[in-house]
Amino acid sequence: MSRRVRCSVKDSMCLILVSFSLVQAQQHVEIDFAASRHKEYLFISTFNLSWHKAFEYCRGQGMFLVSIQNREELEAVKDTINMSGFWKKNHYLHMWTSLNDIGEEGQYYWASTGTRTQLDLWRDTDPNNSQHDTCTDEDCVALVHFRDLTVTYGLDDRACSSEFMFMCET
Ligand SMILES: *[C@@H]1O[C@H](CO)[C@@H](O)[C@H](O)[C@H]1NC(C)=O
Ligand SMILES: *[C@@H]1O[C@H](CO)[C@@H](O)[C@H](O)[C@H]1NC(C)=O
Ligand SMILES: *[C@@H]1O[C@H](CO)[C@@H](O)[C@H](O)[C@H]1NC(C)=O
């Protein structure tokens, strides 16, 4: 198996399935639990944290900072925000995801799954690694949406120390 299978801490059934498959399959098998498993989401919009603090907060809940690996997951994230009633009170969203290039400039990975980004959801001018000062550039990625403008659920690289809302997933 070349990829690591991530399961939530609570999801012991998944772990059992993985070990079972490893015994059964002698050859290289790709098991993409991320695409098929049912994720649960927790949208935090009542306070803002830096990217690292948000990551920590999600781990503290037994969850991970959100990843958006395909269209289905993007729809699930949008639905979660929509169902929270967020758009009744807010006009725009800046929400941390687990996407980052902290490890190597320009190489973006979802920290929660260890996978590269597949969907191209970048905003027109991003990622631009905008330089804030001599030791601060943009290595962490937020999902942004402006309700009344044409910016529709795009990814935007930001300074990891910026404090935004965030979402956790199982
Ligand atoms: C969190 O940040 C957003 C902007 O991204 C801001 O509108 C909101 O007031 C902040 N929330 C708190 C609790 O400071
Ligand atoms: C959010 O919900 C409203 C109805 O409450 C619906 O009109 C809208 O299309 C939904 N948006 C998304 C992105 O699901
Ligand atoms: C980087 O992109 C953001 C939009 O996400 C834009 O506001 C900012 O001006 C850009 N910075 C540079 C240096 O291009």
Q: How confident is the model at residue 24 (pLDDT cuts 50, 70, 90)?
A: very low
| pLDDT value, residue 143 | 97
Q: Is the CB of 78 under 6 A from ligand 2?
A: yes
| pLDDT value, residue 76 | 95
| pLDDT value, residue 25 | 37
- CATH 3.90.79.10 corresponds to the domain 41-169: no
With beta carbons less than 8 A apart as the criterion, state whether 5 and 31 touch.
yes
Q: Domain spans of the chain?
A: 1-30, 41-169
pLDDT tens digits for range 103-149: 999 999 999 999 998 888 998 878 888 877 777 788 999 999 998 77
R_g of the chain, CA atoms, integer Å: 17
pLDDT tens digits for range 43-85: 999 999 999 999 999 999 999 999 999 999 999 999 999 999 9
φ/ψ bin of 70: left (φ > 0), alpha (ψ from -120 to 50), beta (otherwise): beta
Nearest atom within ligand 1 for CA of residue 90: 7
Q: Is the CB of 131 under 6 A from ligand 3?
A: no
Closest CA to 139 of 168, 169, 96: 96
Q: What is the arithmetic mean of pLDDT over 156-162?
A: 95
Best of 48, 89, 144 for a ligand 1 pocket test (most atoms within 8 Å of beta carbon): 48
Stated pTM of the model: 0.77
